[in-house]
Structure 1
């Protein structure tokens, strides 16, 4: 495998057969690193990419060496792996307290999330639907777009999982609906009582709070989905405070 040198054109960069992880880095520390590496290895296995050299070059020691050479206070480490390439990159984390205070406005995508595709369940280079829909909703004045599957069930947004709150109880779509099992989703399911269920747009009026999660934003209050508004952000605040204590 090639790492951080000349790019080799393989099935990853020609046909989307590669996996990646984006990891929040706070004051030089990568958050939930082991979970990210575990998910990346699993995704590469689904893509049929050998991990013979992967563990030698993508491990905690190599990552910490890269972060020592590329210091970040509030940043993002991205790891990209294909059959013949391993790339590490860094950038600033675009989410901050101002983003959180404002919250996100969502629209609903007309693109159907394919719950039968293995690509739906891993972080792969095969990411075109997400990028195109993200750009479209931004142009329309929204922050994110919500995908439904072929059964019109709520799945996820272009870059995050979604949770709903009713009478102090947490609800989130089942993985089988067609979504990536996010790192923050995993954290919440391990630390809070959450019902994984099938959710439909017509049912959302019964929920008083909605929020998004991913590794970079941690939690993000949803202000609205289309015309439907969500006034509360109690759980989004509580979970975010817990993550701040971890880091």
Structure 2
């Protein structure tokens, strides 16, 4: 088993989820760079140029005739795997805001997995389910310094 296959069995697969609407792929270059950083951190090969990354996603949108949604992209070897991803937060939740529970679990600030996005998200799944069972929409993780690190499955935008 090679390193990529070995990592794959443990969910150490960099991926990105990209929101799109009316042909615009939101924050695409930032997502591409985060994915590249994930491969680099895991010391896995990734030589795909940005334009090709964008082309894969645009081709998928064209083939499926989608105008709005989210796409998840990861790679198995050099082949992209793209799929539609459910958007958990509809317009109503977006407009009213989310009810967020602060998780009791702390994300250690020196853990390299906090800074890359991989399928290894068991902790996030468990904590979000716990928050939902208490009537919240999701949970928020803090680090040992009580600084915000992330939500279970959403971006945080500060104004």
Q: TM-score range by the shorter chain?
A: 0.7 to 0.9
1:84-163 equivalences in 2 (<5 Å): 86-161=80-155
Is contact 1:23–1:77 with CA below 8 Å preserved after alignment?
Answer: yes
Tell me if 1:49 matches 2:44. Answer: yes
Asked if the contact 1:74/1:92 (under 8 Å) is kept, the reply is no
Alignment deviations for residues 117-158 of structure 1 (CA, whole Å, 9 cap, x no partner): 110011112211111111111111111212222233333322
Tell me what 2:67 maps to.
73
Structure-1-length-normalised TM-score: 0.56
State the alpha-carbon separation in 2 of the partners of residues 152 and 56 from structure 1: 35
Larger radius of gyration: 1
Distance 2:146 2:95 in 1: 30
The answer for unaligned runs of 5 or more in structure 1 is: 1-8, 162-211, 214-218, 220-234, 236-247
Supply the distance in 2 between the matched residues of 1:60 and 1:155 (Cα, whole angstroms).
28
- Give the count of matched residue pairs: 156
Give every structure 1 segment of 4 or more consecutive aligned residues whose post-TM-superposition deviation is greater than 4 Å: 82-85
Q: Which structure carries more relative contact order (alpha carbon 8 Å, separation 6+)? A: 2
Tell me by how many angstroms 1:58 deviates. Answer: 5.0
Does structure 1 residue 30 correspond to structure 2 residue 35? Answer: no
Q: 2:55 aligns with which of 55, 61, 68?
A: 61
Q: Which structure is higher in strand share?
A: 1
Shift of 1:39: 1.6
Gaps of 5+ in 2: none
**Superposed displacement of residue 12, structure 1:** 3.7
- TM-score, with normalisation over the residues of structure 2? 0.83
SS in 2 for 1:124: coil
User: Aligned partners of 1:35, 1:91: CA distance in 2, in Å?
Assistant: 19
Residues in 1 aligned to 2:30 and 2:147: alpha-carbon distance in whole angstroms: 27
What CA distance in whole angstroms lies between the structure 2 residues aligned with 1:82 and 1:134?
27
Change (3 A) 1:98 1:66: same
Task: Quote the RMSD (CA, aligned, Å).
Answer: 2.5
C-alpha distance 157-62 of structure 1, shift in aligned 2 (>3 A): closer
Contact 2:56 2:80 (C-alpha < 8 Å) held by counterparts: no
Q: Distance in 1 between matches of 2:40 and 2:104?
A: 31
